[in-house]
Structure 1
Amino acid sequence: MSAIDDLFTKLRAENRKALMPFVTAGDPDLEFTAEVIQELVARGAAMCEVGIPYSDPIADGPVIQASYTRALDKKVKLAGILNMLGAVAPQVSAPLVTMVSYAIIYRHGVEAYADELNERGLAGMIVPDLPVEESPQLAEICAKRDLSLVQLITPTTPQDRALRIAATSSGFIYYVSVAGITGERTQLPPELVERVTWLREQTPLPVCIGFGISQPEHVRMLSQVADGLIVGSAVVRRIAETTENGRQATLKSVGDYVSSLLAALN
């Protein structure tokens, strides 16, 4: 079993849900990324997703795109990110996963990338642009290393294709709440609960919802049907305030925000 399997087994036994913040590696620098991961886990985050900056974002909205650009402008490299995560992983009690384009994995070497994560104690990878037709090979490679391969299902994914994606996923299913890009939203689609309920009936994997979640009201509504909730743009936007407010104030701001979501979640 992977670390993510263990996490959700524990959460279900305790009748709790997972809050999973997303941060961009290297924004504003890798030292701060390490600090904010530790702060988020200390506040109660069940898992942290770490975005690997990419020059051609797949479904990221302007907030996360800008964070990727800032990190790339500072010459943040994959090797440095993985080294940082390898140093942080033993210090935190929550699994760490990378949100990474398949293009980066492929260029690095599929097995080499999986080995890098495994050697550093990371729990898995979320690959938003992995076609289901090409996923069995990566799924097998991850399974041999007890890594989770998390894939995305969207509101526009046909049901038969959603089942194929679920079959080669592990850890959890990342359900995209809205058609479109990431970003904070005031309202979520009314049919979201129905779609997630259907998906949970089709797979034993936990189903976690991301995209657009930013308010305690969202958390309270979706916690009834989801195993976990993913919050990205709202966290990344607060991290961007380091340049104006300073690092310690920003760490507190991000931590307080995540604590407010956790209070609504459980």
Structure 2
Amino acid sequence: MSRIKEAFAGGKAFIPFLTCGDPDLETTEAIVHAMAQAGADLIELGIPFSDPTAEGPVIQAANARALSGGVTADSIFALVRRLRRTLTLPLVFMTYANVVFSYGTERFLSAAAAAGVDGLILPDVPFEEKEEFAPLCRKYGLDLISLIAPTSAGRITQIARAAEGFVYCVSSLGVTGMRRQITTDVGALVELVRRANPGIPCAVGFGISTPEQAAAMAAVSDGAIVGSAIVTLAGRYGRDAVPAVRDYVQAMKAAVSAPQRPAEADPP
């Protein structure tokens, strides 16, 4: 069983995201270890890009800060190699097609796999264009994670059948960011995926920030993904963000693990 599948084998998964290099790579490394200790099941590492079209203002600003600090793909590969000395949970890169293309697609995927990355999310690559990346991802043992959104409609079955690792179910239209309410019928999306591909886990992201929201999403799926709320903490506390992120992840993991009783988990 792959590390990604193992992340979902023990129950509901909590998947945090952070932007590598915000405020610096040393703090990113410390935050990743803290999130793992706090119960994260899989961690998404954002490789910053100058035009992150799927991101809201919080993660856009984090990308800008990281790039202004001189973060590169090579420095992030080195970060992952350091993390892999002690870390066993799955790590997935989230970035944009231009980052991969500019590095050289095969060179990028080979380096990511050698560093110890398990999968790749490219939010700006539609399903119809995934074959530009999928064969090389398979060659190097990386799962190319598919996204399914409320607008995917008639393509959901097709996307689900070809999915690898897990399916990223987008809970809300628009860009990433915290939302007061999630109104999409996520349960219906997940049910369509499960019918098409019963063995693929489904995790829900976009808009989740509170333990109550995470519990509600985990109740109808296999896990919850949170990015903007964590990136907000990194932006607010900078190099001192580790304790705040650790406490937040611990609360969110508790909520996801007990979706019928979300009120028991205190918000950050």
**Would you call these one fold, judging by a TM-score over 0.5?**
yes
Distance 1:45 1:122 in 2: 16
Stretches of structure 2 that go unaligned for 5 or more consecutive residues are 258-268
Distance 1:190 1:182 in 2: 14
User: Which residue is 2:58 aligned to?
Assistant: 63
CA deviation profile, 1:132-191 (whole Å, cap 9, x unmatched)? 2221242222222221110211111122x2233334331001111000111111111152
User: Which residue is 2:100 aligned to?
Assistant: 105
Deviates more, 1:163-172 or 1:218-227: 163-172
Distance 1:188 1:254 in 2: 23
Tell me the number of residue pairs that the alignment of Structure 1 and Structure 2 aligns: 256
CA deviation profile, 1:203-229 (whole Å, cap 9, x unmatched)? 231111000011111122111221111
The answer on 1:195 being equivalent to 2:186 is no
User: Which residue is 1:4 aligned to?
Assistant: 4
Aligned amino acid, residue 200 of structure 1: R
Cα distance, 1:198 vs structure 2: 2.3
Aligned amino acid, residue 215 of structure 1: T
Secondary structure of 1:150's match?
strand
Secondary structure of 2:85's match?
helix
RMSD: 1.5
User: Which residue is 1:226 aligned to?
Assistant: 221
Distance 2:46 2:184 in 1: 29
Spell out structure 1 runs of 4+ moving beyond 4 A: none
User: Which residue is 1:23 aligned to?
Assistant: 18
Secondary structure of 1:158's match?
helix
Q: How do 1:56-135 and structure 2 match up within 5 A?
A: 56-135=51-130
User: Which residue is 2:256 aligned to?
Assistant: 265
Q: Please report the TM-score for the alignment, with normalisation by the length of structure 1.
A: 0.91
Aligned amino acid, residue 37 of structure 1: V
CA deviation profile, 1:44-91 (whole Å, cap 9, x unmatched)? 100110111111112101110010010111121111111111111232
Counterpart of 2:179 (choices 180, 185, 192) is 185
Q: Please report the TM-score for the alignment, with normalisation by the length of structure 2.
A: 0.91
The answer on 1:170 being equivalent to 2:161 is no
Distance 2:179 2:101 in 1: 33
Secondary structure of 2:17's match?
strand
Stretches of structure 1 that go unaligned for 5 or more consecutive residues are none
Taking a change above 3 Å as real, the CA distance of residues 167 and 193 of structure 1, as seen in their structure-2 partners, is closer
The answer to whether the 8 Å contact 1:41/1:93 transfers is: no
Secondary structure of 1:240's match?
helix
